Chains A and B, each alone.
Chain A
Amino acid sequence: MRHPQDDQLALFAGGDLGLLDRLRLRGHVRGCDACRRSVESYRSAAARLREETAKLPAGLKWDSLAAEMTANIRVGLAAGECVAGVTSKPALMTWKPALAVLALTLVVLSGWWLNFPQEQRANLARGMQGIWNRDARNVPDPTVYLEANRAGIQLRENGSAMTLMHPDRAPSVISVSTQGAMRARYVDSDTGQVTITNVYAQ
């Protein structure tokens, strides 16, 4: 006869097997003295465990221990309440007032926008879009600019600028090429010397 494994008997003794296994083992245990004794032994060990563990540890003075634990629990709860009282801060705003403030802000902004003169509104929109496009992407403007003014010829690119300063006097002629160049010509009235400055942008 083939006997069930020990762990199967242990589970059977405690009623922890599934229906089919339980029925199979029940049939075997009825006809097998050794396995029946084994199952009884498991049940007796469990009963003994239940009986002994229901008792307090030997030598323990329960009354004084219980009083001490009860007092400590009270102290712990009181401390917890104090800490909760100090640390819990009231919420700044609940969702209803927050929603009301948001709605009011939207109404004010819409009114302001609609009352703005048409031309300024378009300029503002363009300006905002420019700021958004430039700043949001955080990419410097890659266009190369050449500009002539009284100080000299300035080259601007990627947010940087370089100015080629004129002599003290203003240039007599400034010419601009569509190929991306700027030219300034100076004539010294005392000596008649001619100075020409060419700046090419690529």
Chain B
Amino acid sequence: MSEFAQPVERVPEAHQELQSRFVSDHLRRIFLLIYRIVGNVDDAQDLTQETFIKALQRQDQIKDLEKAAHWLSRIATNTAIDFLRRHGRVSFSDIDDLPEPVSASPLESPEALVLQTERREYLEAGLGTLTHRERTALILRDVEGLPAEEVAAQLNCSKATVRSHIANARTKFRRYLERRKT
């Protein structure tokens, strides 16, 4: 029998269900985490998929769901950081470049949507002033709420270095917000 004709062992149905639930529970959180780091919807989409595929190929790791969530965040951060290392860039999607048209929720008026879009662009431009390490450190510490030791472990640097990244990022970001206020 040729090796291509060998039957592939199928994933049990219960496990497939667990995988689907795992994806739906964490998809949005992981997408947002990666998007905040890479700043681009298309890249964030690819990297989110890559993160889940990497995670689900290690089936034994998703038995403990709480640990799995933490572990998934770590894979996501590493995947995003590796991507930035390879490409050495952070670029924000222009709203006009998004593949899907802007869809207004029935609860939001067009004015509210425009305002929200402006706020988002303004904030993203502020994040764009940071280096990718500062930006990642800031997001992991201030948005994800990870302790500095964990951020240091994820960025593969010392705690002193990560504190310096966090301090620089906070200072730059605050200055940006203040400049834009005046």
Contact = CB atoms under 8 A, between A and B. Distances in A.
Contacts of B119: 52
Contact of B45 (A7, A52, A55, A69): A69
A58 B113 contact: yes
Contact of A76 (B4, B53, B138): B53
A183 B120 CA distance: 108
Nearest to B175: A6
Contacts of A73: 23, 49, 52-53, 56
Interface in A122-148: none
Interface string A2-36: 00001110110110100000000000000000000
Chain B interface mostly: helix
B30 to A, nearest CB: 10
Interface in B112-132: 113, 116-117, 119-121, 123
A77 interface: yes
Contact of B19 (A50, A77, A82): A77
Interface of B: 3-4, 6-9, 11, 19-20, 23-24, 27-28, 31-32, 35-36, 41, 45, 48-50, 52-53, 56-57, 93, 95, 98, 100-103, 113, 116-117, 119-121, 123, 138-139, 141-143, 148, 163-164, 166-168, 170-171, 173-174, 177-178
B118 to A, nearest CB: 9
Contacts of A68: 45
Contacts of B52: 69, 73, 76
B141 A49 contact: no
> Which of A46, A60, A64, A81 has most chain B Cβ within 10 Å?
A60
A62 interface: yes
A178 B5 CA distance: 78
Contacts of A91: none
Contacts of A46: 142, 170
A55 to B, nearest CB: 7
18 contacts: A7-B168, A10-B166, A10-B171, A11-B167, A14-B166, A41-B174, A45-B177, A46-B170, A49-B143, A49-B173, A57-B35, A59-B101, A60-B41, A69-B27, A70-B24, A73-B49, A73-B56, A77-B56
B19 to A, nearest CB: 7
A73 B131 CA distance: 30
A121 interface: no
Given A59-B103, A73-B56, 5 more contacts: A49-B173, A50-B142, A58-B113, A59-B95, A65-B45
A60 B100 contact: yes
A173 to B, nearest CB: 77
Q: Is the interface of A mostly helix, strand, loop or mixed?
A: helix
B28 to A, nearest CB: 7
Nearest to B49: A72
Contacts of B95: 58-59
Contact of B27 (A8, A13, A52, A70): A70
Task: Give the one of B23, B148, B170 with max A CB within 10 A.
Answer: B170
B116 A58 contact: yes
B4 to A, nearest CB: 6
Q: Which of A58, A64, A76, A86 has the most CB of B within 10 A?
A: A58
Contacts of A49: 123, 138, 142-143, 173
A69 B141 CA distance: 27
**Which of A41, A46, A49 has most B Cβ within 10 Å?**
A49
Contacts of B164: 7
A53 interface: yes
